[in-house]
């Protein structure tokens, strides 16, 4: 059985984390629960949720999973203190943060009995987060879906591993299958954090059109949406600037490379965008997804995705050993 220190720390069987999938749409507790029940770690996103909704999400996941571990994610866009308070009261196994300096959140999480997982996109952020005492680091490459930086996963992961050892690092961005997990382990990571692959799962409550767009996309259709800074909330602190990656739509094609034209119309276009996302029409506007979309060809139940990643990784690692033995 493929077990890493990450599994022991988080109390999970497989080193596979479902990355939080947040926004003005509802991903639903079924996906989170399915991943945790399959032995991975599911993540509840809190973006555009109220504290009461977050409490209900946590209760729903607990109802479906019993006492299995899961994560709840917050972001600094800006940080919503009411949501942080609700999450810490509920005390999930893991509090995860993206898009900002952890600050005193690490200590508060520890006081509430939660482990703290920080997503970083540069080595500098990783070093700062290590100094703040985080328990697990997610190194997210720029090919990832949602908000990511500019450094690719293959370059970033080993650099973060070296910079923060012995803190366990999880690789994110571009990973869909067991080859990705095997590669991540070779880079020194102890697991993977996967977003787009789980977005196109049976349990994710997003529209079928969004899932089908993932299935049909080529990797190069997942573009960095350079004008999004004018339309969606951004991290409130310097040094954590990221640009969302989404599948091309008519809306994106119309405005890509034209941030200066979008800026004066930010209110009108931003309202149009948020309405569309809230109505389940992300696929017409901003279907967040990573370059990994090019390698996703079917919509599967989340448990099958977890099992596939683990089995394929074991096979990939065994193949590598077998080839080496043949050589010599």
Ligand X SMILES: Cc1cc2nc3c(=O)[nH]c(=O)nc-3n(C[C@H](O)[C@H](O)[C@H](O)COP(=O)(O)O)c2cc1C
Contacts to ligand X by CB under 6 A: 19-23, 45, 47, 73, 75, 98, 119, 140, 143-146, 172-175, 193-197, 199, 288-290, 292
Residue whose beta carbon is closest to ligand X: 195
CB of 135 to ligand X, least distance (A): 16
CB of 198 to ligand X, least distance (A): 8
Indicate the residue among 159 and 207 with the shorter CB distance to ligand X: 207
CB 69 within 8 A of CB 89: no
Indicate the residue among 249 and 318 with the shorter CB distance to ligand X: 249
Q: Is 35 left (phi over 0), alpha (psi -120 to 50) or beta?
A: alpha
CB 246 within 8 A of CB 288: yes
Extract the tokens encoding 4. 């890493």
CB of 324 to ligand X, least distance (A): 29
Distance between CA atoms of 241 and 262, rounded to whole angstroms?
18
Indicate the residue among 130 and 199 with the shorter CB distance to ligand X: 199
269-304 burial string, b = 16+ CB within 10 Å, else e? bbeebbebbeebbbbbbbbbbbbbbbbbeebbebbe
Reported as half-sphere exposure (CB side, CA atoms, 13 A), residue 208 has a value of: 0
Question: How many C-beta atoms surround the C-beta of residue 213 within 10 A?
Answer: 22
Indicate the residue among 65 and 140 with the shorter CB distance to ligand X: 140
CB of 73 to ligand X, least distance (A): 5
CB of 47 to ligand X, least distance (A): 4
Indicate the residue among 136 and 289 with the shorter CB distance to ligand X: 289
Indicate the residue among 299 and 326 with the shorter CB distance to ligand X: 299
CB of 139 to ligand X, least distance (A): 10
Token pair 């920080």 is found at: 118
CB of 202 to ligand X, least distance (A): 16
Indicate the residue among 30 and 143 with the shorter CB distance to ligand X: 143
Token pair 């017409």 is found at: 284
CB of 76 to ligand X, least distance (A): 10
Indicate the residue among 65 and 121 with the shorter CB distance to ligand X: 121
């Amino acid at each position: 059985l493929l077990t890493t220190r990450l599994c022991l720390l988080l109390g999970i069987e497989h080193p596979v984390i479902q990355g939080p999938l947040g926004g003005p749409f509802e991903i639903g507790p079924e996906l989170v629960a399915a991943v945790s029940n399959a032995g991975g770690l599911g993540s509840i996103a809190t973006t555009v949720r109220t504290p009461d909704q977050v409490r209900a999400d946590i209760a729903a996941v607990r109802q479906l999973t019993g006492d299995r571990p899961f994560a709840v994610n917050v972001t600094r866009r800006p940080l919503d203190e009411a949501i942080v308070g609700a999450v810490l009261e509920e005390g999930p196994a893991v509090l995860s943060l993206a898009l900002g300096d952890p600050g005193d959140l690490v200590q508060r999480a520890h006081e509430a009995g939660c482990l703290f997982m920080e997503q970083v996109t540069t080595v500098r952020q990783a070093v700062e987060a290590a100094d703040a005492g985080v328990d697990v680091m997610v190194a997210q490459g720029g090919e990832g879906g949602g908000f990511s930086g500019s450094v690719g996963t293959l370059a970033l992961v080993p650099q973060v591993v070296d910079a923060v050892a012995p803190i366990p690092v999880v690789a994110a961005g571009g990973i869909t299958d067991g080859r990705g997990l095997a590669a991540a382990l070779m880079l020194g990571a102890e697991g993977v954090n996967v977003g787009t692959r789980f977005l196109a799962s049976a349990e994710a409550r997003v529209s079928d059109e969004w899932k089908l767009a993932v299935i049909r996309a080529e990797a190069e259709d997942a573009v960095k949406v350079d004008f999004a800074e004018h339309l969606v909330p951004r991290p409130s602190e310097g040094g954590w600037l990221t640009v969302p990656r989404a599948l091309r739509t008519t809306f994106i094609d119309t405005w890509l490379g034209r941030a200066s034209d979008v800026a004066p119309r930010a209110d009108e276009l931003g309202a149009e965008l948020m309405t569309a996302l809230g109505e389940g029409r992300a696929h017409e506007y901003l279907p967040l997804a990573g370059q990994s979309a090019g390698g996703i060809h079917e919509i599967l139940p989340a448990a099958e995705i977890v099992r596939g990643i683990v089995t394929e990784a074991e096979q990939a690692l065994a193949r590598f050993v077998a080839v080496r033995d043949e050589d010599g």
